[in-house]
């Protein structure tokens, strides 16, 4: 028997149609099996496809997140895009005004809705691990740069695990031409991919340029990556020499794939919040 599930494709970290990072959102997905979810994620061929299900505990909804090749416990732009689709279906009403609580593999994720429509998520707790010199060298080779060109290098786990690397400036990040086969082969096991960042000159529309590569998950370059940006924010917070890390900032991502996304980062006490706008490009019913 064919089931019909509400479906939206949402562009995240943008207020413009056909920019930002798209996520496919399947709503009312309780009766879908994991195998069906994975098949749909392969079919959409987006960096992530999500499935909004009934919560098990305290959440407003439960979210399952799939790449074309597997399931993730957490991802940033799918969280914001799914919250956007959930709110549209609910007429933007929430149990607690302007706030949502999402269940996912990483646990409970708090979200809030700004008056201008931007949705922010509280980044799950991050753990940092220092890579070995050999791992840094392998990452540099995969990116096509010298090890000496890399500043900070940290493996950060926020549910997704990103090898997070700093280059001299935004122009160096944009100029990268990475070897995807070598990136996919990087250790340690369980690595989502590589996120690279560098600073923009002061006074522009963004403070940091970010790129994220995850070929092992079938995503050569993620257009605008929430979890990758969260890892960058976590690294910057601990670096007193990085001006953007001492306060709120804006990251740009997607420059090299014509997506022009903007991720807004805020430091509030011990928490890191990141967010932006989202806009629905496609809506209808998915036959399953």
pTM: 0.93
Q: What is the pLDDT of residue 239?
A: 83
CB atoms within 10 A of CB 280: 15
Q: What is the pLDDT of residue 246?
A: 62
Q: What is the pLDDT of residue 159?
A: 93
Q: What is the pLDDT of residue 96?
A: 65
Q: What is the pLDDT of residue 97?
A: 67
Which one-letter DSSP state was computed for residue 65? E
Tracing tokens 């940006």 back to the chain, one arrives at 229
Reduced to 3 states, what is the DSSP secondary structure of residue 99?
A: strand
**Is 48 a known active-site residue?**
yes
Angle among Cα 89, 93, 97 to the nearest 5 degrees reads 145
Buried b / exposed e over 64-85, threshold 16 CB at 10 Å, is bbbbbeeebbbbbbbbbbbbbb
Q: Can you tell me the distance from the alpha carbon of 54 to that of 63, in angstroms, rounded to the nearest whole number?
A: 9
Q: What is the pLDDT of residue 74?
A: 96
Q: What is the pLDDT of residue 94?
A: 65
- What is the tens place of the pLDDT at every residue in 84-125? 999 998 765 566 668 999 999 999 999 999 999 999 999 999
Quick check: 143 and 167 in contact, CB under 8 A? no
Sign of CA dihedral 14, 118, 92, 40: positive
110's tokens? 């708090």
Q: Does 4-123+275-287 match 127-271 in CATH topology?
A: yes
Catalytic site residue from 8, 31, 35, 48:
48
Q: What is the pLDDT of residue 90?
A: 78
Which residues in the chain come in under a pLDDT of 70? Answer: 91-97, 243-246
Q: Packing angle between helix 226-237 and helix 76-89, nearest 10 degrees?
A: 120
To which CATH superfamily is domain 127-271 assigned? Diaminopimelate Epimerase; Chain A, domain 1 (3.10.310.10)
Q: What is the pLDDT of residue 136?
A: 97
Pairing of strands 21-26, 271-276: unpaired
The ranges assigned to domains in the chain are 4-123+275-287, 127-271
Decide which of 3.40.50.300, 3.30.70.260, 3.10.310.10, 3.30.70.60 is the CATH code for 4-123+275-287. 3.10.310.10
Q: What is the pLDDT of residue 2?
A: 83
């Amino acid at each position: 028997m064919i089931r019909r599930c509400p479906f939206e494709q949402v562009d995240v970290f943008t207020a413009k149609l056909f920019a930002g990072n798209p996520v496919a959102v399947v709503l009312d997905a309780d009766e879908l099996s994991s195998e069906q979810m994975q098949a749909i994620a392969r079919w959409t061929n987006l960096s992530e496809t999500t499935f909004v299900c009934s919560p098990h505990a305290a959440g407003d909804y439960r979210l399952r997140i799939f790449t074309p090749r597997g399931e993730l416990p957490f991802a940033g732009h799918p969280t914001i895009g799914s919250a956007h689709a959930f709110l549209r279906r609910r007429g933007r009403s929430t149990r607690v005004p302007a706030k949502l609580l999402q269940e996912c593999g990483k646990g409970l994720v708090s979200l809030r809705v700004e008056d201008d429509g931007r949705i922010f998520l509280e980044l799950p707790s991050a753990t940092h691990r220092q890579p070995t010199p050999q791992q840094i060298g392998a990452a540099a080779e995969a990116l096509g740069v010298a090890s000496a060109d890399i500043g900070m290098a940290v493996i950060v786990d926020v549910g997704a695990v990103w090898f997070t690397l700093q280059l001299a400036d935004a122009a160096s990040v944009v100029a990268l031409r990475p070897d995807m086969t070598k990136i996919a082969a990087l250790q340690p096991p369980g690595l989502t991919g590589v996120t690279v960042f560098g600073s923009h000159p002061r006074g522009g529309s963004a403070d940091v340029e970010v790129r994220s590569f995850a070929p092992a998950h079938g995503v050569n370059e993620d257009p605008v990556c929430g979890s990758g940006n969260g890892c960058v924010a976590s690294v910057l917070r601990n670096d007193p020499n990085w001006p953007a890390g001492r306060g709120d900032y804006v990251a740009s991502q997607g420059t090299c794939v014509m997506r022009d996304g903007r991720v807004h980062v805020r430091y509030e006490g011990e928490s890191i919040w990141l967010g932006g706008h989202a806009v629905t490009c496609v809506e209808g019913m998915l036959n399953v």
